[in-house]
Amino acid sequence: MAESQSVVDRATTRKREGWVTGTLVLFCLASMVVTIAAGLVQVSFGEYSMTFRQAWTAVFNPAVIFDLDAWSSFLFGTERPEMSTESVVVWNLRLPRVFVAIITGATLSVSGAVFQAVTRNELASPFVLGVSSGAGFAVLATLVVFSGLTPFLPLIAALGGTVAFAIVYTIAWKGGTSPVRLVLAGVIVNMVFQSLQQGLFFFADDLGVVQTAIAWITGSFTGTGWEEVRIAVLPAAVSIAIALAGARQLNVLMLGENTARSLGMRVERVRFFLSAVAILAASAAIAVAGVVSFFGLVVPHIVRNTVGGDYRRLMVGCVFAGPALMVTADVGARLALGGTQMPVGVVTGLIGGPYFLYLMRKQQSMGEL
Protein backbone atom coordinates (compact mmCIF):
# COMPACT_ATOMS: atom_id res chain seq x y z
CA MET A 1 0.00 0.00 0.00
CA ALA A 2 2.83 2.35 0.85
CA GLU A 3 4.49 1.56 -2.47
CA SER A 4 1.29 2.39 -4.38
CA GLN A 5 0.88 5.66 -2.51
CA SER A 6 4.49 6.57 -3.28
CA VAL A 7 3.91 5.87 -6.98
CA VAL A 8 0.78 8.04 -6.98
CA ASP A 9 2.69 10.85 -5.26
CA ARG A 10 5.46 10.70 -7.88
CA ALA A 11 2.91 10.69 -10.70
CA THR A 12 1.14 13.71 -9.18
CA THR A 13 4.45 15.56 -8.90
CA ARG A 14 5.30 14.85 -12.55
CA LYS A 15 1.85 16.02 -13.63
CA ARG A 16 2.25 19.24 -11.64
CA GLU A 17 5.67 19.89 -13.12
CA GLY A 18 4.49 19.17 -16.67
CA TRP A 19 6.03 16.81 -19.16
CA VAL A 20 6.84 19.26 -21.98
CA THR A 21 10.41 20.36 -21.32
CA GLY A 22 12.84 22.61 -23.12
CA THR A 23 14.99 19.60 -23.91
CA LEU A 24 12.06 17.87 -25.61
CA VAL A 25 11.20 20.95 -27.67
CA LEU A 26 14.81 21.44 -28.78
CA PHE A 27 15.14 17.74 -29.57
CA CYS A 28 12.00 17.77 -31.73
CA LEU A 29 13.06 20.96 -33.53
CA ALA A 30 16.53 19.53 -34.19
CA SER A 31 14.98 16.32 -35.52
CA MET A 32 12.73 18.33 -37.86
CA VAL A 33 15.74 20.25 -39.18
CA VAL A 34 17.62 16.99 -39.82
CA THR A 35 14.59 15.47 -41.57
CA ILE A 36 14.16 18.49 -43.85
CA ALA A 37 17.89 18.76 -44.61
CA ALA A 38 18.22 15.04 -45.38
CA GLY A 39 15.05 15.16 -47.46
CA LEU A 40 16.39 18.04 -49.54
CA VAL A 41 19.62 16.13 -50.12
CA GLN A 42 17.61 13.06 -51.13
CA VAL A 43 15.54 14.86 -53.79
CA SER A 44 18.67 16.43 -55.29
CA PHE A 45 20.06 13.14 -56.63
CA GLY A 46 18.72 10.80 -59.29
CA GLU A 47 18.98 9.70 -62.88
CA TYR A 48 17.47 12.97 -64.10
CA SER A 49 20.23 15.54 -63.69
CA MET A 50 19.30 18.66 -61.71
CA THR A 51 21.22 21.22 -59.72
CA PHE A 52 20.51 21.65 -56.03
CA ARG A 53 18.83 24.97 -56.82
CA GLN A 54 16.52 23.41 -59.42
CA ALA A 55 15.57 20.53 -57.12
CA TRP A 56 14.87 22.72 -54.11
CA THR A 57 12.95 25.24 -56.21
CA ALA A 58 10.75 22.37 -57.40
CA VAL A 59 10.15 21.22 -53.83
CA PHE A 60 8.94 24.65 -52.72
CA ASN A 61 7.11 25.45 -55.97
CA PRO A 62 3.90 27.23 -54.87
CA ALA A 63 2.19 26.20 -58.11
CA VAL A 64 2.34 22.60 -56.82
CA ILE A 65 2.07 23.14 -53.06
CA PHE A 66 -1.17 25.14 -53.34
CA ASP A 67 -2.69 23.14 -56.22
CA LEU A 68 -5.58 21.00 -54.90
CA ASP A 69 -5.66 18.96 -58.11
CA ALA A 70 -1.99 18.08 -57.63
CA TRP A 71 -2.60 16.92 -54.07
CA SER A 72 -5.64 14.97 -55.22
CA SER A 73 -3.46 13.13 -57.73
CA PHE A 74 -0.82 12.45 -55.08
CA LEU A 75 -3.13 11.27 -52.30
CA PHE A 76 -6.03 9.73 -54.22
CA GLY A 77 -4.48 8.72 -57.55
CA THR A 78 -6.53 11.04 -59.74
CA GLU A 79 -5.25 12.52 -62.98
CA ARG A 80 -2.13 14.63 -62.53
CA PRO A 81 -2.33 18.28 -63.65
CA GLU A 82 0.27 19.84 -65.93
CA MET A 83 3.64 20.45 -64.25
CA SER A 84 7.16 21.35 -65.24
CA THR A 85 9.58 18.48 -65.81
CA GLU A 86 11.49 19.29 -62.62
CA SER A 87 8.26 19.32 -60.58
CA VAL A 88 7.16 15.97 -62.02
CA VAL A 89 10.54 14.38 -61.22
CA VAL A 90 10.71 15.80 -57.69
CA TRP A 91 7.07 15.45 -56.64
CA ASN A 92 6.21 12.20 -58.41
CA LEU A 93 9.48 10.27 -58.11
CA ARG A 94 11.70 11.62 -55.36
CA LEU A 95 9.57 13.19 -52.61
CA PRO A 96 7.37 10.10 -52.16
CA ARG A 97 10.50 8.19 -51.18
CA VAL A 98 11.17 10.77 -48.46
CA PHE A 99 7.56 10.59 -47.23
CA VAL A 100 7.66 6.78 -47.09
CA ALA A 101 10.91 7.00 -45.10
CA ILE A 102 9.26 9.48 -42.70
CA ILE A 103 6.26 7.19 -42.17
CA THR A 104 8.48 4.13 -41.75
CA GLY A 105 10.81 5.84 -39.29
CA ALA A 106 7.98 7.17 -37.13
CA THR A 107 6.00 3.91 -37.01
CA LEU A 108 8.97 1.62 -36.31
CA SER A 109 10.24 3.95 -33.56
CA VAL A 110 6.84 4.15 -31.88
CA SER A 111 6.34 0.39 -32.24
CA GLY A 112 9.69 -0.35 -30.63
CA ALA A 113 9.01 2.01 -27.73
CA VAL A 114 5.61 0.41 -27.07
CA PHE A 115 7.03 -3.12 -27.18
CA GLN A 116 9.75 -2.14 -24.70
CA ALA A 117 7.07 -0.96 -22.28
CA VAL A 118 4.55 -3.79 -22.60
CA THR A 119 7.29 -6.41 -22.20
CA ARG A 120 9.32 -4.32 -19.72
CA ASN A 121 12.32 -5.35 -21.79
CA GLU A 122 14.69 -2.75 -23.21
CA LEU A 123 15.90 -5.28 -25.80
CA ALA A 124 12.42 -5.55 -27.35
CA SER A 125 11.61 -4.30 -30.84
CA PRO A 126 9.47 -5.51 -33.76
CA PHE A 127 12.54 -7.14 -35.31
CA VAL A 128 13.86 -8.83 -32.17
CA LEU A 129 10.42 -10.16 -31.15
CA GLY A 130 9.78 -11.74 -34.55
CA VAL A 131 6.97 -9.36 -35.50
CA SER A 132 8.89 -8.04 -38.50
CA SER A 133 9.58 -11.54 -39.82
CA GLY A 134 5.98 -12.65 -39.37
CA ALA A 135 4.62 -9.54 -41.05
CA GLY A 136 7.31 -9.86 -43.69
CA PHE A 137 6.33 -13.43 -44.52
CA ALA A 138 2.67 -12.41 -44.85
CA VAL A 139 3.52 -9.50 -47.17
CA LEU A 140 5.97 -11.54 -49.23
CA ALA A 141 3.39 -14.31 -49.67
CA THR A 142 0.95 -11.68 -50.90
CA LEU A 143 3.45 -10.21 -53.37
CA VAL A 144 4.53 -13.59 -54.74
CA VAL A 145 1.37 -15.71 -54.60
CA PHE A 146 -1.65 -13.45 -53.99
CA SER A 147 -0.73 -10.27 -55.89
CA GLY A 148 -4.39 -9.25 -56.18
CA LEU A 149 -4.50 -8.49 -52.44
CA THR A 150 -1.83 -5.77 -52.60
CA PRO A 151 -4.20 -2.93 -51.47
CA PHE A 152 -4.68 -4.77 -48.17
CA LEU A 153 -0.97 -5.13 -47.38
CA PRO A 154 -1.05 -3.30 -43.99
CA LEU A 155 -3.87 -5.55 -42.73
CA ILE A 156 -2.15 -8.67 -44.06
CA ALA A 157 1.14 -7.59 -42.48
CA ALA A 158 -0.65 -6.91 -39.18
CA LEU A 159 -2.14 -10.41 -39.26
CA GLY A 160 1.28 -11.97 -39.88
CA GLY A 161 2.87 -9.84 -37.15
CA THR A 162 0.13 -10.76 -34.68
CA VAL A 163 0.59 -14.47 -35.32
CA ALA A 164 4.36 -14.15 -34.88
CA PHE A 165 4.05 -12.16 -31.64
CA ALA A 166 1.51 -14.64 -30.25
CA ILE A 167 3.90 -17.52 -31.00
CA VAL A 168 6.79 -15.66 -29.32
CA TYR A 169 4.73 -14.92 -26.23
CA THR A 170 3.51 -18.53 -26.05
CA ILE A 171 7.04 -19.91 -26.29
CA ALA A 172 8.36 -17.42 -23.71
CA TRP A 173 5.51 -17.87 -21.22
CA LYS A 174 6.36 -19.89 -18.13
CA GLY A 175 4.17 -18.47 -15.41
CA GLY A 176 5.29 -15.10 -16.76
CA THR A 177 8.02 -13.96 -19.12
CA SER A 178 11.60 -12.76 -18.81
CA PRO A 179 13.78 -10.67 -21.13
CA VAL A 180 16.02 -13.60 -22.04
CA ARG A 181 13.10 -15.91 -22.88
CA LEU A 182 11.45 -13.26 -25.03
CA VAL A 183 14.70 -12.62 -26.93
CA LEU A 184 15.35 -16.34 -27.45
CA ALA A 185 11.77 -16.96 -28.55
CA GLY A 186 12.06 -14.03 -30.94
CA VAL A 187 15.25 -15.50 -32.43
CA ILE A 188 13.49 -18.85 -32.96
CA VAL A 189 10.44 -17.29 -34.62
CA ASN A 190 12.68 -15.05 -36.74
CA MET A 191 14.57 -18.07 -38.07
CA VAL A 192 11.38 -19.97 -38.88
CA PHE A 193 9.70 -17.12 -40.74
CA GLN A 194 12.90 -16.18 -42.58
CA SER A 195 13.14 -19.78 -43.80
CA LEU A 196 9.54 -19.60 -44.96
CA GLN A 197 10.31 -16.34 -46.75
CA GLN A 198 13.17 -17.97 -48.63
CA GLY A 199 10.94 -20.93 -49.50
CA LEU A 200 8.46 -18.61 -51.20
CA PHE A 201 11.02 -17.83 -53.91
CA PHE A 202 10.41 -21.29 -55.38
CA PHE A 203 6.83 -20.23 -56.15
CA ALA A 204 7.87 -17.09 -58.04
CA ASP A 205 8.14 -17.60 -61.81
CA ASP A 206 8.84 -13.95 -62.63
CA LEU A 207 12.42 -12.69 -62.27
CA GLY A 208 11.14 -9.17 -61.61
CA VAL A 209 9.05 -10.40 -58.67
CA VAL A 210 12.08 -12.22 -57.26
CA GLN A 211 14.28 -9.11 -57.50
CA THR A 212 11.56 -7.00 -55.86
CA ALA A 213 11.18 -9.55 -53.08
CA ILE A 214 14.93 -9.68 -52.40
CA ALA A 215 15.11 -5.88 -52.17
CA TRP A 216 12.02 -5.90 -49.96
CA ILE A 217 13.43 -8.52 -47.53
CA THR A 218 16.50 -6.35 -46.90
CA GLY A 219 14.41 -3.19 -46.41
CA SER A 220 14.53 -0.67 -49.22
CA PHE A 221 12.82 2.54 -50.37
CA THR A 222 13.94 2.12 -53.96
CA GLY A 223 10.99 2.52 -56.33
CA THR A 224 8.53 3.68 -53.67
CA GLY A 225 5.94 6.22 -54.79
CA TRP A 226 2.65 7.81 -53.84
CA GLU A 227 0.92 4.41 -53.91
CA GLU A 228 3.03 3.31 -50.95
CA VAL A 229 2.26 6.57 -49.17
CA ARG A 230 -1.46 5.96 -49.68
CA ILE A 231 -1.14 2.38 -48.40
CA ALA A 232 0.71 3.28 -45.20
CA VAL A 233 -0.44 6.74 -44.13
CA LEU A 234 -3.82 5.82 -42.59
CA PRO A 235 -2.74 2.84 -40.43
CA ALA A 236 0.39 4.78 -39.47
CA ALA A 237 -1.60 7.83 -38.37
CA VAL A 238 -4.11 5.73 -36.40
CA SER A 239 -1.47 3.62 -34.63
CA ILE A 240 0.72 6.60 -33.74
CA ALA A 241 -2.27 8.59 -32.43
CA ILE A 242 -3.39 5.70 -30.21
CA ALA A 243 0.17 5.10 -28.99
CA LEU A 244 0.53 8.78 -28.04
CA ALA A 245 -2.81 8.66 -26.22
CA GLY A 246 -1.69 5.53 -24.35
CA ALA A 247 1.56 7.04 -23.05
CA ARG A 248 0.22 7.28 -19.49
CA GLN A 249 -0.73 3.60 -19.51
CA LEU A 250 2.76 2.74 -20.76
CA ASN A 251 4.25 4.69 -17.84
CA VAL A 252 2.16 2.64 -15.43
CA LEU A 253 3.13 -0.65 -17.10
CA MET A 254 6.79 0.25 -16.63
CA LEU A 255 6.20 0.28 -12.85
CA GLY A 256 5.49 -3.46 -12.83
CA GLU A 257 2.41 -5.66 -12.92
CA ASN A 258 1.67 -5.61 -9.18
CA THR A 259 1.89 -1.84 -8.94
CA ALA A 260 -0.19 -1.38 -12.10
CA ARG A 261 -2.92 -3.66 -10.72
CA SER A 262 -2.92 -1.85 -7.39
CA LEU A 263 -3.55 1.37 -9.34
CA GLY A 264 -6.64 -0.19 -10.95
CA MET A 265 -5.22 -1.13 -14.34
CA ARG A 266 -6.40 -4.27 -16.13
CA VAL A 267 -2.86 -5.19 -17.03
CA GLU A 268 -3.33 -7.99 -19.55
CA ARG A 269 -6.09 -6.17 -21.43
CA VAL A 270 -4.03 -2.98 -21.70
CA ARG A 271 -0.87 -4.91 -22.58
CA PHE A 272 -2.45 -6.83 -25.45
CA PHE A 273 -4.31 -3.78 -26.78
CA LEU A 274 -1.12 -1.71 -26.89
CA SER A 275 0.75 -4.67 -28.39
CA ALA A 276 -1.85 -4.73 -31.18
CA VAL A 277 -1.23 -1.01 -31.75
CA ALA A 278 2.53 -1.63 -31.93
CA ILE A 279 2.01 -4.48 -34.40
CA LEU A 280 -0.19 -2.26 -36.60
CA ALA A 281 2.45 0.48 -36.55
CA ALA A 282 5.24 -1.93 -37.50
CA SER A 283 3.06 -3.55 -40.16
CA ALA A 284 2.35 -0.23 -41.84
CA ALA A 285 6.11 0.26 -42.24
CA ILE A 286 6.86 -3.29 -43.31
CA ALA A 287 4.09 -3.24 -45.92
CA VAL A 288 5.78 -0.45 -47.88
CA ALA A 289 9.48 -0.60 -46.95
CA GLY A 290 10.16 -4.23 -46.14
CA VAL A 291 12.05 -5.50 -43.12
CA VAL A 292 14.23 -2.68 -41.74
CA SER A 293 16.16 -4.40 -38.99
CA PHE A 294 16.91 -3.07 -35.49
CA PHE A 295 15.53 0.44 -36.15
CA GLY A 296 12.74 0.06 -33.58
CA LEU A 297 15.34 -1.01 -31.01
CA VAL A 298 17.87 1.78 -31.41
CA VAL A 299 15.72 4.92 -31.77
CA PRO A 300 13.74 4.62 -28.48
CA HIS A 301 17.04 4.28 -26.60
CA ILE A 302 18.47 7.38 -28.26
CA VAL A 303 15.32 9.34 -27.39
CA ARG A 304 15.19 7.96 -23.84
CA ASN A 305 18.79 8.95 -23.18
CA THR A 306 18.04 12.47 -24.43
CA VAL A 307 14.59 13.43 -23.11
CA GLY A 308 14.13 10.96 -20.25
CA GLY A 309 12.06 7.85 -19.58
CA ASP A 310 8.60 9.46 -19.22
CA TYR A 311 6.63 7.86 -22.06
CA ARG A 312 4.73 11.07 -22.78
CA ARG A 313 8.05 12.64 -23.78
CA LEU A 314 9.49 9.44 -25.20
CA MET A 315 6.64 8.83 -27.65
CA VAL A 316 6.68 12.39 -28.95
CA GLY A 317 10.46 12.24 -29.31
CA CYS A 318 10.21 8.97 -31.28
CA VAL A 319 7.69 10.52 -33.69
CA PHE A 320 10.26 13.21 -34.56
CA ALA A 321 13.55 11.31 -34.20
CA GLY A 322 12.45 8.25 -36.17
CA PRO A 323 11.89 10.13 -39.46
CA ALA A 324 15.12 12.11 -39.02
CA LEU A 325 17.25 9.00 -38.57
CA MET A 326 15.45 6.97 -41.25
CA VAL A 327 15.70 9.65 -43.94
CA THR A 328 19.36 10.19 -43.03
CA ALA A 329 20.03 6.44 -43.18
CA ASP A 330 18.35 6.27 -46.58
CA VAL A 331 20.50 9.13 -47.88
CA GLY A 332 23.59 7.28 -46.65
CA ALA A 333 22.41 4.03 -48.24
CA ARG A 334 21.79 5.79 -51.53
CA LEU A 335 25.00 7.81 -51.75
CA ALA A 336 27.59 5.71 -49.87
CA LEU A 337 28.54 3.53 -52.84
CA GLY A 338 28.27 6.13 -55.57
CA GLY A 339 25.98 4.87 -58.32
CA THR A 340 24.93 1.69 -56.45
CA GLN A 341 21.96 2.01 -54.08
CA MET A 342 22.33 -0.03 -50.91
CA PRO A 343 19.16 -1.20 -49.09
CA VAL A 344 18.50 0.95 -46.03
CA GLY A 345 18.02 -2.23 -43.98
CA VAL A 346 21.71 -3.00 -44.47
CA VAL A 347 22.66 0.35 -42.93
CA THR A 348 20.31 -0.04 -39.94
CA GLY A 349 21.49 -3.62 -39.45
CA LEU A 350 25.16 -2.63 -39.42
CA ILE A 351 24.40 0.00 -36.77
CA GLY A 352 21.67 -1.80 -34.83
CA GLY A 353 23.37 -5.20 -34.53
CA PRO A 354 26.38 -3.97 -32.52
CA TYR A 355 24.08 -1.70 -30.49
CA PHE A 356 21.91 -4.71 -29.62
CA LEU A 357 25.01 -6.57 -28.38
CA TYR A 358 26.02 -3.50 -26.37
CA LEU A 359 22.64 -3.42 -24.64
CA MET A 360 22.84 -7.13 -23.84
CA ARG A 361 26.28 -6.72 -22.26
CA LYS A 362 25.16 -3.58 -20.43
CA GLN A 363 22.37 -5.39 -18.59
CA GLN A 364 23.56 -6.84 -15.29
CA SER A 365 20.82 -9.47 -15.34
CA MET A 366 18.83 -10.80 -18.29
CA GLY A 367 16.55 -12.86 -16.08
CA GLU A 368 16.28 -16.61 -15.69
CA LEU A 369 15.13 -19.03 -18.35
Domains of the chain with CATH codes: 22-362 (1.10.3470.10)
pLDDT digits (tens, 9 = 90+) for 215-247: 777 888 988 899 999 989 999 999 999 999 999
Per DSSP, the residues of 205-262 read: --HHHHHHHHHHHT---TT--HHHHHHHHHHHHHHHHHHHHTHHHHHHHTT-HHHHHH
Residue 123: is it exposed, middle or buried by C-beta count within 10 angstroms (0-12/13-18/19+)?
buried
Q: Is the pLDDT of residue 80 over 70?
A: yes
More confident residue, 101 or 118: 101
- pLDDT of 14 > 60? The answer is no
By percentage, how much of the chain surpasses pLDDT 70? Answer: 92
pLDDT digits (tens, 9 = 90+) for 321-359: 999 999 999 999 888 777 678 889 888 888 888 887 887
pTM: 0.87
Model confidence band, residue 256 (pLDDT cutoffs 50, 70, 90):
confident
Question: Could you tell me the CA-to-CA distances from 9 to 5, 15, 112, 283 in Å, in that order?
Answer: 6, 10, 29, 38
The Cα 252–Cα 261 span in angstroms is: 9
Q: What pLDDT, on a 0 to 100 scale, did the predictor assign at position 346?
A: 87
Query: What pLDDT is recorded for position 318?
Result: 96
Q: What is the pLDDT of residue 364?
A: 57
Residue 182 pLDDT exceeds 90: no
If you average pLDDT over every residue of the chain, what do you get?
86
Calculate mean pLDDT across residues 136-157: 81
- pLDDT above 60 (res 366): no
With bands split at pLDDT 50, 70 and 90, how would you rate the model's confidence at 16?
very low
